[in-house]
A and B are shown apart, each in its own frame.
Chain A
C-alpha cells in the first residue's frame, strides 16, 4: 500500500515490574480499515490499547498518529486529536440518564470544534444531539430508554453507549475493546451492521475481540498477540490458516470451529 498509515505503532514495549506485557509490538493502521486484534487471555490486547490511547505509559516505543508523535501524551489530548476508545468494562456515568451521558463528550473541545454550534448542532442544544446519536446507535428515540439512568440499562445498551460516546467526538479512529463480549447472539447480530456502517462512514476501527466469527466477518486485517508478542498479521484467511495461531489457541473450540468453516 502506497498511502501513509493513519496510525503507526512502532516497537511498543510495556513492562509491569519484571513482566513484559508487550514486547516490541509493531503495526500500521490504514485509513478506512478494520483491524482486529485477537489473542488468548492475558496476551496484552488491552495493554496495547491503553498504551496507544495514553491511559498507561509505555516503557519504550513510539506511536505516530496522522504523522504526529503522540507517545507520552495524556489521554484527553489523544482523544482530542480524534483517536478514541471504548472500555472493556463499560464506563458510563451511572448517575446520569443515557442521553445526558453524551452531553459530556459533546462539551469537549473537539466536539465544540467539529460538531456545529459548539457541539450542540444547529440548535446549540447538546441534549438533542445526544438523542440523535443514541438513535443512530440503536436506542429507540420514542421509547423511554434514552431517558433512563445509565445505572438501570442492560449490558447491550451500555456497550452501545460506549460507542456513542466515541461517536459524539466525530472521531477518525475508534478502538473497540471487546465490544461484543457479554452480549447475546441476537445483540451481537444487531451490532455487526453498526460496525459495518461506521466503516462506510469513513471511520477507521481497531477491534479487540474474542468473538472470532463476527470479527472475521467485518475485519480487513487481523493481528494475533500472544504473551505480549505479535505472532502474525494478515487477512483473516491468512491468520486462520496459520499454524502458529492454532498453537496459541490450542484447545480453544471456537477457533477450531471457525477454522473448520474457513
Chain B
C-alpha cells in the first residue's frame, strides 16, 4: 500500500469521562483514564525533592517551580483572557520587595510575609496596570515589558529600598523542606485552581473577553473590570513566586526585575503547549534544568539553548502537551482511501 492510498483517521475515545462537564464514570478502566495522568503529575512533583542528587539540584527545583508559577500566569493571561503580558519580572519584583521590606523592617516571618506580599503585590500591580487594560495584543505586551525596566531604574535612581545593593539579610524559610514543598504545592494548587477557574462561569467570561470583547460589552459587562480581576489573579500568583524567591536567596535586589522572569515563561509556554496550563509547567521543568546543565559550556550556553528552542518551535510548534493530549484522547489509525 503506498502513501497516496492511505490516510490517517482520528477517532475520539468513546469514553464517557470526556463528555463535557458530566463525569459519568463507568468502570475502573475509565476511572484510571481520568485519574492516572493527574496522579502521575502530583506524585511526580511531590517526590522530586527526594529524587534530586543534592542541595544544588534541590535549589534548582525551587527555582523551576517559581518559573512555573510565572508560566502559569502568562498562559492564563495570554490564552484565557487575551492579555499577552511580559510583566513576569514586574510581578516577581513587586512581590519580592514587599516581603523583603516586611521582613527586614517589621520582622514578619516568611510564612506570613509571603501571602501578604502576594495579595498586596497583586493589588499594587493591578492598580499600576489599570491604565493599560484597554490595550490589546502586542501593545499590552510592550507596555507590560516597560514596567519591570522602569521599576528597576526608579529604585536605582532614587536609591530607595537599598538602591543597587538591594535588601540583604532576609530570613530564610525554616528549613529546605518547607521551602521546597511550599513552592511545589503552590504550583499544584495554582495549576488545578486555574484549570477549575477557567471552566467556571467567571472563567468563561474571561475566555469570552479573549474571544470577542465587543460581544462581552454588548452583553452588559465591563471588560475592564474582568480584565482587572484576571490581572489581579495572575499578578498575585506572580508576587507569591517573587516573595518565595527572595526568601530562598535571602536577598532582594533590582535583579528581580531582570527580563529572564518575563521571557523564560513564554519560552516554556511555547514548548509546553499554549492554553493547556499544565504545558507551561512542564516546559519550565524542561527548560530551566537544561539551562543549568548547559552552564558547563560557558558562553556557548545561550547558543545551545536557542537551538533547542528553535528545534521545538520548528518541529513541534503546537507544544508537548497539546500533542500529548491529542494522542491520549484520540485513536489514530491508517485507513485505506
User: In the complex, which of the residues B210, B215, B221 contacts A109, with contact meaning CB atoms closer than 8 Å?
Assistant: B221
CA distance A101 to B221 in the complex (A): 14
Chain B: residues with Cβ within 8 Å of the partner, total of 21
Which chain A residues border B131 with CB–CB below 8 Å?
A: none
B217:A55 contact, CB within 8 angstroms: yes
The answer to the question of B228 belonging to the interface, with a C-beta cut-off of 8 Å to chain A, is: no
A87:B204 contact, CB within 8 angstroms: no
User: In the complex, which of the residues B20, B207, B211, B220 contacts A108, with contact meaning CB atoms closer than 8 Å?
Assistant: B220
Map CB proximity to A onto B215-249 as digits: 1 under 8 Å, 0 otherwise.
11111111100000000000000000000000000
Which chain A residues border B215 with CB–CB below 8 Å?
A: 87, 91-93, 104, 165
A80:B220 contact, CB within 8 angstroms: yes
A108:B204 contact, CB within 8 angstroms: no
Which chain B residues border A97 with CB–CB below 8 Å?
A: 20
Identify the stretch in A2-10, A71-79, A188-196, A221-229 within 8 Å (CB) of chain B at 4 or more residues: A71-79
A105:B220 contact, CB within 8 angstroms: yes
Which chain A residues border B330 with CB–CB below 8 Å?
A: none
CA distance A9 to B311 in the complex (A): 60
CA distance A97 to B88 in the complex (A): 32
Tell me the minimal C-beta distance from A226 to chain B in angstroms.
Answer: 27
A108:B221 contact, CB within 8 angstroms: yes
Chain B residues touching A, majority SS: helix
Tell me the minimal C-beta distance from B199 to chain A in angstroms.
Answer: 9
B218:A93 contact, CB within 8 angstroms: no
Q: With A108-B220, A110-B220 as given contacts, are A93 and B211 in contact (CB-CB < 8 Å)?
A: yes
Residue on A nearest B19 in the bound complex, by CB:
A147
User: Which of A75, A104, A105, A108 has most chain B Cβ within 10 Å?
Assistant: A104
Which chain A residues border B129 with CB–CB below 8 Å?
A: none
CA distance A91 to B218 in the complex (A): 10
Tell me the minimal C-beta distance from B196 to chain A in angstroms.
Answer: 15
The answer to the question of B205 belonging to the interface, with a C-beta cut-off of 8 Å to chain A, is: yes
Q: With A91-B212, A107-B205 as given contacts, are A147 and B20 in contact (CB-CB < 8 Å)?
A: yes
Interface residues of A in 74-118 (CB under 8 A from B): 74-76, 79-80, 84-85, 87, 91-97, 100-101, 103-111
Chain A: residues with Cβ within 8 Å of the partner, total of 35
A103:B219 contact, CB within 8 angstroms: no
B204:A76 contact, CB within 8 angstroms: no
Which chain A residues border B111 with CB–CB below 8 Å?
A: none
Residue on B nearest A75 in the bound complex, by CB:
B217
A79:B217 contact, CB within 8 angstroms: yes
Tell me the minimal C-beta distance from B292 to chain A in angstroms.
Answer: 37
A76:B208 contact, CB within 8 angstroms: no
Interface residues of A in 25-41 (CB under 8 A from B): none
CA distance A62 to B205 in the complex (A): 32
The answer to the question of B214 belonging to the interface, with a C-beta cut-off of 8 Å to chain A, is: yes
B219:A165 contact, CB within 8 angstroms: yes
User: Which of B21, B211, B214, B218 has most chain A Cβ within 10 Å?
Assistant: B218
The answer to the question of B201 belonging to the interface, with a C-beta cut-off of 8 Å to chain A, is: yes
Tell me the minimal C-beta distance from B146 to chain A in angstroms.
Answer: 27
Which chain B residues border A100 with CB–CB below 8 Å?
A: 204
6 contacts between A and B (CB under 8 A): A95-B207, A96-B207, A104-B208, A107-B201, A110-B220, A165-B219
The 4 closest A-B pairs by CB, nearest first: A79-B220, A105-B219, A91-B215, A93-B211
